[in-house]
Structure 1
Amino acid sequence: MTQTSEFQVLCKEARQCWRDGEYQCAVELFEQALEIEEVSETHQHAGMAAYMAGDTENAVKHLIRATHLAPSNSQARINLGAVYNRRKEYKLAIDALRKGLAMDMHCAEGYFNLGMAHRHQNEPKMAIPALREAIRLDPEMADAHVQLAEVYSGQGNYKQAIELAEQALKIKPGFEAAQQILDKAEQGRDTAKASSKNLDWIAGVSPTKLDQGFRELTDEQQVADHRHLVVLAHSIHQIANDVLLQMRRELDPATRQVYRIVSRPEKNPGTLTEAYAAFKRATKSYKILRDRLGVKMQELRDYEESMKENNGE
């Protein structure tokens, strides 16, 4: 048997082991073949067999060698990125994946792994386009839908997260990860709605209407509006925190002191007049903060009204 034919037989046997799920056997046979002849594609196969066998260190070694032997081997770079993801070496994953995708811009799995790496690096602005591209290239990739749903859920965009999780379940019924993110996003949506209603009540304004259409803006207007909303939202958040802090530090203690003096005067020093004066000061402070919060919430409502399309109302 010639070296070439022996190499081919070993690779054939290795591929059969792969199909049978015997990945370590496949690694050993591919490595025997590589002792006869070093081929980039064979290193790539050996690397992925090692990856499937759980030996990510050996997988990295073979995939790096594959890229050295054939710098244009885009799949080896993309596979290397996937292995780095498994090893939680996300910066290395991003570098390998970007190089591989520069050679093959139609690999859905490459974009999926790139999105995963950016997500784990807490870079949602980079993760979102990568995962969207993975879905565009492979609309049936349920994992990409779930990962993108996770990103949106983390941003508080529960509507998009729910839609993506539901789509993943249509693609892959019973998909546990999809069901988990769906439940999480629905819970987040419901909590956000409840918080919004509570904030309106504290601020003393009627609930805002979120189901109206909005006029279209230029990109510059959108940036300016976003900045305005960020500042306004920060103000509302800060004042709301001040309201809660004032209630805990002043209003609640003053109320409790009045109760203690009335219910058990013999064990609580001080007069009711003093307790009432403290309560009155606390309620005055609370009203000032509540009014400030109401003004900011009204600004938010006025902004919303200014954005609505003229629907003849």
Structure 2
Amino acid sequence: MTVSSFEVEKSHIVPRLKQRQYAEALRMLEEAHPRDRAQRLEQLEMQAMCYFRTGQFEQAAECYRQLAEEDPESARPLINLGAVYNRLHRYPEAIESLRKAIQRDRCNVDAYYNLGFAQRHSGHPDLAISAYKEALRLRPNMEQGHLNLGNAYLEVKNTVMATNHYKAALEIDPELEPAKRGLVRAAEQELKNRESKSPFGRLVDPAKLTRQRSESAAKSLSEGEREKDRQEVQQLAKSVRNAARQASEELREKMQPALMAMTRALVQGEDRPDHIEATHDKFHTELPRFNEAMRTLRYAMLELRGHEEIMNTPDIDV
């Protein structure tokens, strides 16, 4: 069997690639003579790699575009094209390319990982979270996946989930410095959150209660009135707990699955617009009950706060 001229040329090109002599390999590839489609695809693949390794990202993107057109069944050219677009900070084009790649291969870790990167850097950390979670579902022991998912959670100020994924990354690679720095940032953000926001305001703020006591005399209560106050507070607190439990259940059992389904439909692309519409409708079907549960919770908290205000108001002698 006669060896083709391209195979002979390739035997000289591959050693250059192994030795990282990419400029020389590119020169030889441009002069190569592929005789059929398979060899042409192989030539394009090697050219794209050389362009990428030498920082010529526009040329690499053009090679991957040609590969995607000439090999419509393969997801790899579109994934690589998305990665190149990420390097060029052309995130909308990266998202489009990677969604098309997922349409070709819905179980490709690299497609979801690169999609998460593009979505996060295009200002959509919520969608990035969904993409990174899908990548980690397919490959749980990916430390960079946990790291970047932690970063995305931190951007939406979910310090608990961010901390969990930074720790997961460090369990895989204990020397991963970005994950260590992420844990520090998450702890700092959690401290700021606690300092800036207390869910019950003055009701659980010891400093404010101390000032109140020093600025005004405490309301005088008889033993019977104190017992009645305790019972009222217990009943109001029970209402708050029940309302919070209901809101939590609506969020966990209805809203979160509906939101995840909708974001997954968006991540997987536009090949099924009916699926996107259906998940969108499902989300908005669940929304009124969640909003009602939150209104009930706010009302219960206001009732408890109102009772506290009344009890902290001193008696006025007339």
Call closer, same or farther: CA 1:225–1:296 in 2, change over 3 Å: farther
Question: Which residue of the partner structure matches residue 219 of structure 1?
Answer: 254
SS at match of 1:68: helix
8 Å Cα contact 1:108/1:134 also seen in 2: yes
Distance in 2 separating the partners of 1:13 and 1:229: 70
Q: Corresponding residue for 1:248?
A: none
- Tell me if the contact between 1:145 and 1:168 (Cα under 8 Å) persists in the aligned partners: yes
Structure 1 residues without counterparts, runs of 5 or longer: 236-293, 302-313
The separation in 2 between residues aligned to 1:154 and 1:229, in whole angstroms, is 27
Distance 1:132 1:45, change over 3 A: farther
Report the AA paired with residue 89 of structure 2: K
Q: Is the 8 A contact 2:22 2:54 kept in 1?
A: yes
Distance 1:135 1:149 in 2: 12
Distance 2:50 2:6 in 1: 17
1:281-296 alignment, distance < 5 Å: 295=302
SS at 2:174's partner residue? coil
Q: CA deviation at 1:34?
A: 5.6
Q: Which has the higher contact order (CA 8 A, sep 6+)?
A: 2
Aligned pairs (5 A) from 1:101-120 = 101-120=102-121
Deviation at residue 229 of structure 1 after TM alignment: 8.3
**1:64 — aligned with what?**
65
| Matching residue of 2:164 | 163
| Distance in 2 of aligned mates of 1:207 and 1:193 | 11
Q: Percent identity?
A: 26
Query: Residues 226 and 156 (structure 1 numbering): CA distance in 2 closer, same or farther, change over 3 Å?
Result: farther
Pick closer, same or farther for the CA change 1:173–1:15 going to 2, 3 Å.
farther
Match of 1:52 in 2: 53
1:48·1:79 contact (CA, 8 Å) conserved in 2? no
User: Residues 34 and 42 of structure 1 are in contact (CA less than 8 Å); yes or no, is this contact kept in structure 2?
Assistant: no
Amino acid at match of 2:135: A
Residue 305 of structure 2 aligns with an amino acid whose one-letter code is: Q
Q: In the alignment, which residue of structure 1 is the partner of 2:183? A: 182
What is the number of residues matched between the two proteins? Answer: 236
Partner residue, 1:14: 13
C-alpha spacing 1:150/1:45, structure 2 compared with 1 (3 Å): same
Q: TM-score, normalised by structure 1?
A: 0.64
**What displacement does 1:32 show?**
3.3
Please name the residue that 2:29 is paired with: 30
CA distance in 2, matches of 1:83, 1:97: 11
Identify the residue that residue 298 of structure 1 maps to in structure 2. 305
Deviations 1:199-219 (A, max 9, x none): 75xx4211699x999453352
Preserved contact between residue 142 and residue 169 of structure 1 (Cα < 8 Å): yes
Q: Distance in 1 between matches of 2:93 and 2:110?
A: 17
Q: For residues 207 and 168 of structure 1, do their structure 2 counterparts lie closer, same or farther at Cα, with a shift above 3 Å needed?
A: same
In the alignment, what sits opposite 1:130? 131
Other-structure match for 1:143: 144
Query: Per-residue displacement from partner, 1:142-191 (whole Å, max 9, x unpaired)?
Result: 22211111111111110100111111122222222222222111111122
Q: Give the C-alpha shift of residue 36 in structure 1.
A: 6.3
Give the letter for the 1:76 counterpart: P
* CA–CA distance in structure 2, aligned partners of residues 154 and 39 of structure 1: 44
DSSP 3-state at the match of 1:42? helix
Task: Give the Å deviation of 1:72.
Answer: 2.2
